[in-house]
């Protein structure tokens, strides 16, 4: 039944605030969320009165109840996806399921982050004196198992996978660096990007300070302030949309057997994987396409090595060949076979927990990207790796 949602729903509206470096936002996290939602609804040619559903990350501090009250929405459907970056495609799938089952007619997915106003996702936290209940909940759960072994930040955790990949397959730091160079190059064509006007060379990447071996500064995503949102509705209603609709061809979510945030008893094969091989199989089946039919990829980059592993998981190359695939230029715009993160992605546009990657996928299929892939018909969007349960989407250009 993976195909049950195929092409039945569409994304018809996009909205985002200005993206800034952590601490650069001029308004509150809630203010940013509301601004992004209003812009997405306007882009769809609708009004807030048309919105009857909201989907969000369960880590978003702008709760669905608060957002609905602030915007005076009358909801029939509300949904939270568990986690952070792993939610990027999952919230859209959940919105699509609500539309397909008649639970709602117009659902908005949103994510708002102000790392300058709240805690930082990349920062180690002991919990002593913590002001946020979210911080204390985190410390009291998985960090209680991992911190005693020195795993206190996402970089430290994900670096283990990258080092194992290097050990087994000869993957190099330079190959990881080429992912960052690609994303920064795309950001130079995107005025929305925080790193617009700040190109990156491989030499700069290699000279940057070590964060958690093998990850250097430019292997790590940004810490950003900003918000984005998108509008999902039925294919039938999308025909009347103000902008070109983009079909949700397929969606999948889940986690590999034996994977988990504690990583206890983790199978050997997951130490060199983004943990998304099953999600990949299901999303291709759901959309009825193969990796060869994907024209452009928006892959979640919390860290560059996880992108290399995701490219393998999603069938663009064999296991262990991701580094060579990147080095071949396959991910580069405009001549690569699978141009990657054409807005700059989490590394160079902004870190909005991956939902902005979905917006860029829609722009590609509307023909509105600043690094437009010619005649793009299918875009793959992958959510956060190594953070189960994760998710993925395949978007299709409407005929």
The answer to whether the beta carbons of residues 316 and 338 sit under 8 Å apart is yes
How far is C-alpha 221 from the geometric centre of its chain's CA atoms?
Answer: 11
Is 284 a known active-site residue?
no
**CA-based torsion, 269, 274, 275, 277: positive or negative:** negative
Question: Which one is catalytic: 19, 196, 284, 351?
Answer: 351
Question: Which one is catalytic: 57, 110, 169, 300?
Answer: 300
Provide the pairing of β-strand 53-57 with 106-114: parallel
Is 57 a known active-site residue?
no
Nearest-CA neighbor of 302 among 390, 171, 203? 390
Distance CA 273, CA 316 (A): 13
At residue 396, what are phi and psi to the nearest 5 degrees?
Answer: -130, 135
Q: Which residues are catalytic?
A: 300, 351
């Amino acid at each position: 039944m993976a195909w049950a949602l195929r092409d039945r729903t569409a994304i018809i509206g996009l909205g985002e605030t200005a993206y800034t470096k952590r601490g650069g936002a001029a308004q509150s996290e809630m203010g940013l969320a509301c601004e992004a939602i209003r812009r997405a609804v306007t882009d769809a040619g609708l009004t807030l009165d048309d919105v009857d559903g909201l989907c969000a990350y369960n880590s978003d501090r702008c709760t669905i109840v608060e957002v609905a009250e602030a915007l005076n929405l009358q909801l029939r459907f509300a949904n939270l996806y568990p986690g952070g970056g792993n939610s990027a495609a999952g919230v859209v799938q959940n919105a699509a399921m609500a539309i397909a089952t008649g639970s709602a007619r117009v659902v908005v997915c949103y994510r708002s982050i102000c790392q300058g106003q709240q805690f930082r996702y990349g920062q180690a936290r002991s919990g002593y004196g913590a002001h946020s209940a979210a911080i204390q909940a985190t410390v009291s759960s998985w960090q209680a198992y991992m911190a005693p072994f020195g795993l206190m930040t996402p970089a430290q955790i994900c670096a283990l996978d990258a080092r194992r990949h290097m050990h087994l397959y000869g993957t190099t730091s330079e190959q990881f660096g080429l992912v960052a160079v690609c994303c920064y190059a795309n950001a130079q064509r995107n005025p929305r990007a925080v790193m617009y006007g700040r190109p990156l060379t491989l030499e700069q990447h290699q000279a940057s300070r070590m964060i958690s071996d093998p990850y250097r500064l430019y292997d790590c995503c940004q810490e950003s302030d900003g918000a984005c949102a998108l509008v999902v509705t039925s294919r039938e209603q999308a025909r009347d949309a103000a902008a070109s609709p983009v079909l949700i061809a397929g969606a999948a979510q889940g986690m590999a057997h034996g994977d988990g945030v504690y990583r206890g008893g983790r199978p050997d094969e997951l130490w060199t994987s983004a943990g998304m091989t099953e999600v990949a199989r299901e999303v291709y089946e759901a959309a009825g396409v193969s990796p060869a039919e994907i024209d452009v990829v928006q892959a979640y980059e919390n860290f560059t090595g996880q992108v290399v592993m995701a490219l393998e998981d999603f069938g663009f190359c064999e296991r262990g060949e991701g580094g060579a695939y990147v080095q071949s230029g396959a991910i580069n715009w405009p001549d690569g076979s699978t141009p990657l993160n054409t807005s700059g992605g989490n590394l160079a546009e902004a870190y909005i927990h991956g939902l902005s990657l979905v917006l860029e996928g829609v722009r590609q299929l509307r023909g509105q990207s600043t690094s437009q892939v010619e005649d793009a018909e299918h875009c793959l969007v992958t959510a956060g790796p190594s953070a189960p349960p994760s998710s993925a989407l395949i978007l299709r250009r409407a005929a």
